[in-house]
Amino acid sequence: MATRKHNIFVTGALLVLASFLSIVMAEKSAGCGKTPTISSKSYTMTVNGKSRQYIMKLPDKYDHNRPYRLIFTWHQLGGSAQKIVNGEDITKGGALPYYGLAPLSNNSAIFVVPQGLNNGWGNAGGEDITFFDQMVKTIEADLCVDTSLRFSTGFSYGGAMSYSVACSRPKVIRAVAVLSGGVLSGCSGGTDPVAYYGQHGTADSVLNVSGGRQMRDRFVKNNGCTPVSPEPSPNGAQSTMLVYKGCKEGYPTTWVVHKGDHNPSQTDNGSSTPFAPKNSWEFFSQFT
């Protein structure tokens, strides 16, 4: 009798513990509850024997019990992590600081700004994906991250790197926003769904729009969305947004086409505010 009660108690306690752990472990990184050692500054780590740098930006009043979004912002070719932090002249083809996402995130996100070897993302032998893996591991051991809310964005080579992360780490990343990208950092894997926002200009003179459409179409297919033809066109100087239908639950797919050139800060007619930040933040923040 006593043994039986004891067994019921133990079984019950284990069930409670197991469900508690599954809730906690599904969402919260190991850094939750810890006093952080990482702060908003530049860090160095060794990846495959090479020294690699990245800059961190924590939310104001970082709360170690709150699981934050984790957003990777990759720079363009010839850009740098510091230029993403500082921002560049948007009237001359530059991007806003953190691709304009930091103010929109209202302190709900931790930003990671990696620095590319030779200011690019050649990803030779997958070394930049390994760098990504190591950053995720190091950051999440120390900071409180919602591990179901990791995101990646970038312009040009930075878009290529986000695409590469979507191909290689579909279970790690929740969504990507690829701004005027091309397949420059490879696509190892690339058969699993990942929520995908793509944006491209029809007059892109650096990475043509057909390349951007091909990248998008990989995820239209992986995400089970219904393909659309003919291709949507910009409406004069207004961008056109296509939200695909029929996509698998949790894998929305959005395409924005504009009539501009290779530019992360394209604006719509009559506006001086680039649309990429708002569009990509709305895309990322639909996941909670």
Min dist CB 209 to ligand NAG, Å, is 8
Q: Which of 2, 270, 272, 288 binds ligand NAG (CB under 6 A)?
A: 270
**Nearest CB to ligand NAG, comparing residues 191 and 210:** 210
**Nearest CB to ligand NAG, comparing residues 43 and 287:** 287
User: Under the criterion CB under 6 A, does residue 148 sit at the interface with ligand NAG?
Assistant: no
What is the per-residue binding string for ligand NAG in 74-113, x denoting contact by CB under 6 A?
A: --------------------------------x-------
- Interacting positions 185-214 with ligand NAG (CB under 6 A): 208, 210-211
Min dist CB 104 to ligand NAG, Å, is 9
**Nearest CB to ligand NAG, comparing residues 247 and 257:** 257
**Nearest CB to ligand NAG, comparing residues 84 and 102:** 102
The single-letter DSSP state of residue 28 is B
Q: Which of 237, 240, 241, 242 binds ligand NAG (CB under 6 A)?
A: 237
Cβ atoms within 10 A of the Cβ of 54, count? 20
261: burial class by Cβ within 10 Å (0-12, 13-18, 19+)?
middle
Q: With CA atoms as reference, report the closest residue to 180 among 208, 219, 151, 222.
A: 208
User: Under the criterion CB under 6 A, does residue 230 sit at the interface with ligand NAG?
Assistant: no
**Residue 215, token pair as written in the block:** 């990248």
SS (H, E, C) 89-107: CHHHCCCCHHHHHHHHHCC
Q: Closest residue to ligand NAG, Cβ-based?
A: 236
* CA torsion through residues 273, 275, 277, 278, sign: positive
54 φ, ψ (degrees, to nearest 5): -155, 150
Min dist CB 48 to ligand NAG, Å, is 28
Q: Give the count of residues interacting with ligand NAG (CB under 6 A).
A: 8
User: Under the criterion CB under 6 A, does residue 227 sit at the interface with ligand NAG?
Assistant: no
Cβ neighbors of 225 (< 8 A, separation 6 or more) are: 244, 245, 246, 247, 251, 253
**Nearest CB to ligand NAG, comparing residues 39 and 210:** 210
**Residue 116, token pair as written in the block:** 């590319």
3-class SS at 287?
coil
Min dist CB 6 to ligand NAG, Å, is 45
**Nearest CB to ligand NAG, comparing residues 117 and 237:** 237
Cis peptide before 230 (omega within 30 of 0): yes
Distance, in Å, from the CA atom of 236 to the CA atom of 246, rounded to the nearest integer, reads: 28
Q: Of all helices (H) and strands (E), which one includes residue 124?
A: none
Residues that bind ligand NAG (CB under 6 A): 106, 208, 210-211, 236-237, 269-270
